[in-house]
Chain A
Amino acid sequence: MHPYLGALCGGVLIGLAAVLLMAALGRIAGVSGIASGLVVGGASDRTWRLAFVLGLLAGPLLLWWLRGDSGIGAPQVGLPWMALAGLLVGIGTRLGGGCTSGHGVCGIARLSPRSLLATAVFMAFGIATVFVLRHLLGVGA
């Protein structure tokens, strides 16, 4: 499969997942919101959140079973960078109320001004960070 076609199909599957979750459970498919609710949310609705996260983990395994390649790539930076990245992603998504899925997919699909702004901001900062690390500091590939 051409990489662009695979990417488009992957996106459609993500969209179908978001529509299914809203159709059945009335919830936005924002991964940071769903998963962080397991850590800090109320105890009443942990079951479906945990089930969604387990499904998320099983997705690449299903791809591996289907075509012999899970699609999981190797980390590109060392442990200290991974730790810092994780911390920033955690604090930032909680503070900003969403990530690439909640704001970037579900929010933009609803034309939410908050999500459009948040997506523009995290894209811009992601691009700026890669520019600084790769082209000014020579970190990573």
Chain B
Amino acid sequence: MRAWIAFVAGLLFGLGLSLGGMTQPAVVLGFLDIFGAWDPRLVFVMAGAVLTTAVGYRLLLRRPRPLLVERFQWPVSRRIDARLVGGAALFGIGWGIAGYCPGPALASLGAGAPALLVLVACMIAGWWLAARLLPPAGGH
């Protein structure tokens, strides 16, 4: 049951990404290109996603626990440090180079483009490297 719900959540997520244009790196790079021909589509995607999530999370906060597991795992870390900022900066550079963040990169794999396989393989290598070289920290 958990796996099926997770699959449906992933499916909605992937459908949203592709409908919103996020699986088109040209659109994503167009959004980041504020000094060129700016494409504001990502603003609409983010607005729709953030507002929906904010309303949904508020409703969930009234519930004692999730439907299928013991507890909600709300992120608890409040630490603002060089690791957070440095990581976000490296991610931003990588995002700006190719126009893929992790969700759209994985969702685009179905088209079978070799360049996407290379990007995702390197992304996985990056996850592995960072986990090997750095002590664990709280997510989000």
Contact = CB atoms under 8 A, between A and B. Distances in A.
Interface string A100-117: 111111111110111101
Interface string A51-86: 111111111111100000011111111110111111
Nearest to B136: A40
Interface residues of A, number: 114
A99 B102 contact: yes
A10 to B, nearest CB: 2
11 contacts: A7-B45, A15-B53, A25-B66, A59-B16, A71-B17, A72-B108, A86-B122, A90-B124, A97-B87, A112-B140, A117-B88
Contacts of A138: none
A118 B77 CA distance: 13
Interface in B85-140: 85-103, 105-111, 113-116, 118-131, 134, 137-140
Interface residues of B, number: 117
Contacts, number: 512
A95 to B, nearest CB: 3
B41 to A, nearest CB: 4
Contacts of B29: 76, 130, 134, 140-141
Please report whether the interface of chain A is mostly helix, strand, loop or mixed according to DSSP.
helix
A57 B110 contact: yes
B54 A25 contact: no
B85 A15 contact: no
Given A57-B109, A59-B17, A108-B50, A89 B100 contact: yes
A131 B65 CA distance: 45
